Structure 1
Amino acid sequence: MNLDTRIKFRHLLCFLEIARQGSFARAADAMAVSQPAISKTLKELEDLLGTRLFERDKAGVELTAAGTRFMRYAGPCVQALREGVNTLRSDRHEPPLVRVGVLSTVESQLMPLVLQRLHARHPALVVSVATGPGAYLLGQLHVGDLDLVIGRMTDSPQVQGLAFEHLYSEAMTLIVRPGHPLLPLGPAAREAASRYPLVLPLAGTTIRKHADSLFVQCGIELSAQRLETLSPTLSRRYVLGSDAIWVAPRDAVRLELGLGELSELDLGVHEPGGSVGLCSNAALPLPLPAHWVCEVVREVAGQYRQGEQALPPQA
């Protein structure tokens, strides 16, 4: 059987939208069709491929191993076709565009330095930045909606099938406001730490696993009063106005620690650190603007590895 003549573009669009949304209902809304129509189209594709692409449960749908393999090719295929059509329709003077997914681990410090240096070298470059949990951003990378994802993500199952380049290792740290009651206690603060509010990454994220590991090493029970967020801005504001303890990636607070605006709580135990890296879809050639981003990210990451302070942007 020649599958090339049986599998239609609508099958691929349906498959990718279900993978993107994690739900038949949301995929149907996004495509402006009925849910039975979505289910029928997917059933046709699964019959043609002779395998199940999704596992269904009350919480939604998840890709099977076969579905994950298929997405490695379906996403770039659809994205390449869209880009080919756009080259015929768009203005030839349209500025270059790169789409980057940025995790909270690099949002506050590394990415602003990268963007400053990028725009110093490429004044017409448009950088579209998406933020959110690693699983979401890697899913966007799989289906071709992003060119790159930058951050700490190696523990995420969605990284399978993608190309990951290690940039530097970064540990989690405990952050409080200057003058916090626990600061003078040093390691003895472990016994009292559970009585204070906590600021933690969202449950289920890669960075949350590292945060939980740090508390296990310190022998501290999680406080019942918690703020769970991936927003460095919200976390920073909350900690500065309260006695909360923020379990943060060092990059998120590097500048404030150097200026003395935030303080590091030393409990005598340090999280070993996770791999911050650059992720791309190996099944789809990187556009030239994405190569520009990779070049600058590697430069700034090299300074991090050498322990240098953040430098002004350079051309």
Structure 2
Amino acid sequence: MNIEALRTLVNIARCGNYRQVADIMNISQPAISKRIRVLEEHFRYQLVERAGASMRLTAAGQALLPYFQRILDTFDEAQNRLNEPEKWQGTIRLGAIDTIISTWLTDFLDLQQKRFPNIKLEVISAPTIDLLQELQHGNVDIIMVLGPSYDRALAEVPLCVMDVAFYGAPMGPNEPQEGTRKLSPEAVSEANIITFPRGSRPHVDVVQRMTQLKLTKMPTISGCSSLFTMRSMGERGLGVITLPRIMAEGTSLQELDLGVTLPSMSFAAVYEPAAAPPIYALTCALAAEIAADYAQRVGSGVHVPVPLAAKSAEAPTDT
């Protein structure tokens, strides 16, 4: 039994004719008979009497009619509510990693408030690993994290890709910051490398790249969850840091060549699709829109994921 079967019986009560019901619902007469049969098998009563092309409800059908009408009214009201997202109300618990918070999250929050003024956002900041656990435990609704998550049970919307490099303080106050300064293997071995939190994908990337160098001594590799703290430590000469290129612009940091390159970081908006309200998908799509706008605005170091870029290129343009 489904909602259209209930709607069919209500239309029979109104029209009393196979052809009119078929025209209103844009279905065939056999489809009408099938829907009525499903209802009658479910309730174990004859609900409709047929006389040629005419139909009328039995006493059992008349008894069920007001209940069916109330169900349809409620269903149609709910459907109409979904078609008017500006009227939605509620709170979305949003988790985001520091990289997104430090770059374009405020732009997203501004537009989200304009598009959905009755939706409140509660924002928490934590590393990707922690946010995935919070999502699994139902403590957050949507997370914006390093992706992909490789969890097929989750809905995932690509956001943007950021290039990453090693940075440090210039050797001296008079040394030019332009260009890349190369570190010797000995200097790399003695370096204090400060990167993203231990267990995160960027942290693992740094460890793997240092292993590839086959140094006589592995450098110290520590993790930090705050990009602003990492950047400050790098500027003060307290270590070699890894940082999205976009966040090194306008600072006194100098890019360093340690003999290896770091992979770019991909970001995604993630949520549990099971029983998720449509506002979750709309929120993630809005985040992707803002991330793409940010990538276009900054011009370098931030990219739109390939599938989104291809889709954008294929979109028709006004002439």
The answer, yes or no, to whether TM exceeds 0.5 is yes
- In the TM superposition, 1:1-315 aligns within 5 A as 96-122=90-116, 125-154=119-148, 159-179=151-171, 186-217=181-212, 222-224=218-220, 226-248=221-243, 250=244, 254-255=246-247, 257-267=248-258, 269-286=260-277, 288=279, 290-303=280-293, 306=296, 308-309=298-299
Higher relative contact order (CA 8 A, sep 6+): 1
Residues of 1 paired with 2:176 and 2:258: CA distance? 10
**Structure-1-length-normalised TM-score:** 0.55
Does the 8 A contact of 2:188 with 2:258 survive in 1? no
User: Match for 1:166: what amino acid?
Assistant: P
User: Match for 1:271: what amino acid?
Assistant: L
> Structure 1's 140 and 307: CA in aligned 2 closer, same or farther, altered over 3 A?
same
Residues of 1 paired with 2:138 and 2:281: CA distance? 16
Superimposed CA distance per residue, residues 210-263 of structure 1 (whole angstroms, 9 cap, x where no aligned partner):
232343455565423x54221223222222222411123x1xx624x3223433
The alignment covers a number of residue pairs equal to 210
Q: Secondary structure at the match of 1:265?
A: strand
> Structure 1's 136 and 178: CA in aligned 2 closer, same or farther, altered over 3 A?
same
Residues of 2 paired with 1:119 and 1:263: CA distance? 38
Residues of 2 paired with 1:137 and 1:216: CA distance? 28
Match in the other structure for 2:42: none
Residues of 2 paired with 1:175 and 1:125: CA distance? 40
**Structure-2-length-normalised TM-score:** 0.55
TM superposition shift of 1:123: 5.1
Does the 8 A contact of 1:147 with 1:286 survive in 2? no
Does the 8 A contact of 2:170 with 2:176 survive in 1? no
Does the 8 A contact of 1:189 with 1:267 survive in 2? yes
> Structure 1's 231 and 190: CA in aligned 2 closer, same or farther, altered over 3 A?
same
TM superposition shift of 1:150: 0.9
TM superposition shift of 1:109: 0.7
User: Match for 2:110: what amino acid?
Assistant: Q
TM superposition shift of 1:185: 7.0
> Structure 1's 219 and 120: CA in aligned 2 closer, same or farther, altered over 3 A?
farther
Q: Percent identity?
A: 20
> Structure 1's 239 and 296: CA in aligned 2 closer, same or farther, altered over 3 A?
same
Does the 8 A contact of 1:101 with 1:146 survive in 2? yes
Residues of 2 paired with 1:182 and 1:195: CA distance? 23
User: Match for 1:270: what amino acid?
Assistant: T
Superimposed CA distance per residue, residues 2-31 of structure 1 (whole angstroms, 9 cap, x where no aligned partner):
xxxxxxxxxxxxxxxxxxxxxxxxxxxxxx
TM superposition shift of 1:307: 6.9
Residues of 1 paired with 2:212 and 2:98: CA distance? 23
Does the 8 A contact of 1:153 with 1:206 survive in 2? no
TM superposition shift of 1:283: 1.1
Q: Secondary structure at the match of 2:99?
A: helix
Q: Which of the pair has more CA radius of gyration?
A: 2
> Structure 1's 113 and 222: CA in aligned 2 closer, same or farther, altered over 3 A?
farther
Does the 8 A contact of 2:195 with 2:224 survive in 1? yes
Note the residue ranges of structure 2 that are not aligned, 5 or more in a row: 1-86, 301-319
Does the 8 A contact of 2:93 with 2:141 survive in 1? yes
Superimposed CA distance per residue, residues 142-178 of structure 1 (whole angstroms, 9 cap, x where no aligned partner):
2332221112133x56x35212222233333212234
Match in the other structure for 1:79: none
TM superposition shift of 1:190: 4.5
